[in-house]
Structure 1
Amino acid sequence: MKLVVVSAGLSVPSSTRLLADRLASAAAGHHSEATDVTVEVVELRDLAVEIAQSLTTGFPGPALGAAIDAVRGADGLIAVTPVFSASYSGLFKSFFDAVSGFDKDALAGTPVLVAATGGTARHSLVLDHALRPLFAYLRAVVVPTGVYAASEDWGAEGLAERVDRAGAELARLMRPAPADRTAPDSLGPVVPFAEQLAALSRG
């Protein structure tokens, strides 16, 4: 099974990436030993230029196209963003705009664990007023436990337990996609972006 982690952290090192890695480890750890879980991390800071270009051209570049393909082929998704102005970051939203713009059914039925980082606990409601509605609109299945980590949560009691609980919930919802995975609404097989772009250039 394939677990894809989308991290919208901008700094290096990043608390957003740290939380994403802990959630991925928890989710993978709750699968049985007989289940092979492959984890792929998508760092949005590395895709910022291509994401911006895709908004004006309507076409993802090669790296962004590969990231979109990873999300479309995921059996489970972890999406983590820093909080900016009491909501998700613009880079985070623009990436998922690009994903849904290329394939409106990319996340339909996909289990998603939402998480966020911020400087203060006052922004913890971002999980419910911003992230859950976004993924509900994309028709993903959002796990019950979201994880918010404020600056004071690192090293404090409670964060590790929330991470473990959220990871376990995601693991229970993940199911391997069929080999001939077909997009919802009879759109046909999911074809990688690179193949679609090559077909367009031949036409």
Structure 2
Amino acid sequence: MKLVVVSAGLSVPSATRLLADRLAAATAAASGTASATASATAGESSAEVRVVELRDLAVDIAHTFTNGFPAPPLADAFAAVAGADGLIVVTPVFSASYSGLFKSFFDALGVTDEDALAGKPVLIGATGGTARHSLVLDHALRPLFAHLKAVVVPTGVYAASEDWGAEGLDARIERAAGELAALSTARAPRPERDSFAEVTPFAERLAALRPGG
């Protein structure tokens, strides 16, 4: 399973990146359990995780809107997102919504490929200074990714300053990670037995159903 994490944190260290890393680790661990129903790999992670730091791509994102095409580092990030089986997106809250950098990245991605997120499982997350901003998940992030045709997992994760180390955050992370792992594992390419070379042509299957076939 290919898992891509998009973090829009600006500072170093970043609470946004910390939440993104915890969500990725939990999803990677959960993917081993989810894939165990189809293979004998219980207890082993089947996830390949890549993190995209938008802070490092800010200039390239801006240039995409002025010159019409992404620079190689940004194009590589777009390709990773489009090719992911599952996506984790985390933004800091600014003015009760997602950050401008976060929105600009996905706007630029849509200009490049409007169907890049179609049908893709997405786990949404956000960080902020107060719990009052937790509504950003349902009022801003969920509508954005619904518009982009993604499949947003039921549980979003918001972490306020007081949530770090408090009871409840770990449980939300585990629940959301499990939901993403289940959807992403189901969407990931299947083993060799499902390869194109083993697909029986429709005409052959139809002939086999006919009397004497």
For normalisation by structure 1, the TM-score amounts to 0.86
| More helix per residue | 2
Larger Rg: 2
Correspondences of 1:6-155 after superposition (within 5 Å): 6-32=6-32, 34=41, 36-155=46-165
Q: CA deviation at 1:58?
A: 1.4
Which stretch of structure 1 is more off in the superposition, 83-92 or 169-178?
169-178
Q: How many residues align?
A: 180
Q: CA deviation at 1:36?
A: 2.2
Q: CA deviation at 1:153?
A: 0.3
**What residue ranges of structure 1 are gaps of 5+ in the alignment?**
181-203
Q: CA deviation at 1:57?
A: 1.1
Q: CA deviation at 1:55?
A: 1.1
C-alpha RMSD of the superposition:
1.4
Aligned mates of 1:58, 1:172 — CA distance in 2: 37
Aligned mates of 2:46, 2:155 — CA distance in 1: 24
One-letter amino acid matched to 1:4:
V
* Percent identical residues: 72
Structure 1 residues 42 and 169: CA distance shift in structure 2, 3 A? same
* 1:187 corresponding residue in structure 2: none
Aligned mates of 1:121, 1:57 — CA distance in 2: 39
One-letter amino acid matched to 1:21:
D
Aligned mates of 1:113, 1:177 — CA distance in 2: 20
Q: CA deviation at 1:170?
A: 0.3
**What residue ranges of structure 2 are gaps of 5+ in the alignment?**
197-213
Q: CA deviation at 1:177?
A: 4.1
Aligned mates of 1:141, 1:26 — CA distance in 2: 19
Aligned mates of 2:152, 2:27 — CA distance in 1: 14
Aligned mates of 1:146, 1:68 — CA distance in 2: 23
Aligned mates of 1:171, 1:87 — CA distance in 2: 26
Aligned mates of 2:90, 2:107 — CA distance in 1: 15
One-letter amino acid matched to 2:91:
T
One-letter amino acid matched to 1:31:
S
One-letter amino acid matched to 2:75:
G
Aligned mates of 2:151, 2:189 — CA distance in 1: 15
